[in-house]
Amino acid sequence: MIRLNAMPMDFAPRRKILSHLPAYPSEPEMSEFESAFLCGALKTFRPQKILEIGVASGGTTAIILQTLEDIGAPYEMHSIDVAPNFWRNPKYPTGFLATLAKEKFFGNLRGTHKFHLGTILPQVIDEIGGVDFVILDTTHMLPGELLDFIAVLPYMPEGALVVLHDVSLHQFTNCEKADATGILFGAVTAEKFLNFQPDECVFRYPNIAALRVNKQTAANIENVFLSLILRWDYFPDEQIKIYRQLYRRFYSDALCEIFQEAVDMNGLHIWAAQQNRG
């Protein structure tokens, strides 16, 4: 089911925390509208355990923490990024804006927040445990976010919310390959939230969306596995076996075979493309 324009928007947390942080070009990597959708979702669903996947400077991490502090209830938040250093400027550690906010602005948090840097979701999800709110914002190119959604689903109860960023990024100039989150949003069975953007924006269709896990989400997960049969844009060689190990614990042999076919076909294409370039 699609819920159009049903998510309350909250612009306040971003304005509040960013006024205390040094401005860094293009950070956070969400527009004001997108941050307001995320903050509105947090305030509406009031999660206890929040998982952010894809941190970059940590501007959005700081905005999420501000929202959780405003809610005023205890919380546990985890932020994962594969890169120990900020991808735009490796002089800074990943998440540096959130670290600054924690040290200089928040003081004692009402909840806890932990970074897991230089790692991927299947390596830390058992340590983190079940989560009821996920923000997924990583590569945007296939296989990208599909791998992490499949990995985190067994750790989410019914009613958990997943916010997906960049669900229409592939419509922007020079971003044609950035369709992983859009594909994921289409393939998943769930209650889906989309708030259209104001008329002055280039598109009304937003670049952020949310889905709420229900009984059908796991029952229909084969649609997400089958989406991995699409042509990948990169091949995460070292990571594949780590995802595969986790999938084998939670998914049927048939789904694991589909995954292996997707890996084999895409590995071959990407190998062939490399040979042609060489």
Ligand X SMILES: C[S@@+](CC[C@H](N)C(=O)[O-])C[C@H]1O[C@@H](n2cnc3c(N)ncnc32)[C@H](O)[C@@H]1O
Which positions touch ligand X (CB under 6 A)? 27-30, 53-57, 59-60, 80-83, 87, 94, 120, 137-139
Can you name the residues that pair with 161 across neighbouring β-strands?
A: 133, 212
In the bound state with ligand X, the residue whose beta carbon lies nearer, of 27 and 132, is 27
To ligand X, the closest distance from the beta carbon of 79 in angstroms equals 9
In the bound state with ligand X, the residue whose beta carbon lies nearer, of 94 and 207, is 94
The DSSP output letter for 211 is E
Angle between helices 32-45 and 59-71 (to 10 degrees): 30
Residues 6+ away with beta carbon under 8 Å from 72:
110
Q: Are 192 and 121 in contact (CB under 8 A)?
A: no
In the bound state with ligand X, the residue whose beta carbon lies nearer, of 40 and 54, is 54
To ligand X, the closest distance from the beta carbon of 186 in angstroms equals 20
In the bound state with ligand X, the residue whose beta carbon lies nearer, of 139 and 217, is 139
Q: How far is CA 83 from CA 20, 57, 88, 178, 225, in A?
A: 25, 11, 11, 19, 26
In the bound state with ligand X, the residue whose beta carbon lies nearer, of 44 and 85, is 85
Q: What is the β-pairing status of strands 161-165 and 208-212? A: antiparallel
To ligand X, the closest distance from the beta carbon of 219 in angstroms equals 26
To ligand X, the closest distance from the beta carbon of 253 in angstroms equals 25
To ligand X, the closest distance from the beta carbon of 48 in angstroms equals 21
Q: How far is CA 131 from CA 19, 98, 110, 153, 209, in A?
A: 30, 21, 18, 9, 18
To ligand X, the closest distance from the beta carbon of 134 in angstroms equals 12
To ligand X, the closest distance from the beta carbon of 29 in angstroms equals 4
In the bound state with ligand X, the residue whose beta carbon lies nearer, of 216 and 245, is 245
What's the CA gap between 82 and 267, in Å, rounded? 21
What's the CA gap between 102 and 204, in Å, rounded? 35
Can you name the residues that pair with 53 across neighbouring β-strands?
A: 80, 136
In the bound state with ligand X, the residue whose beta carbon lies nearer, of 50 and 189, is 50
Q: Please give the structure tokens belonging to residue 40.
A: 């509105």
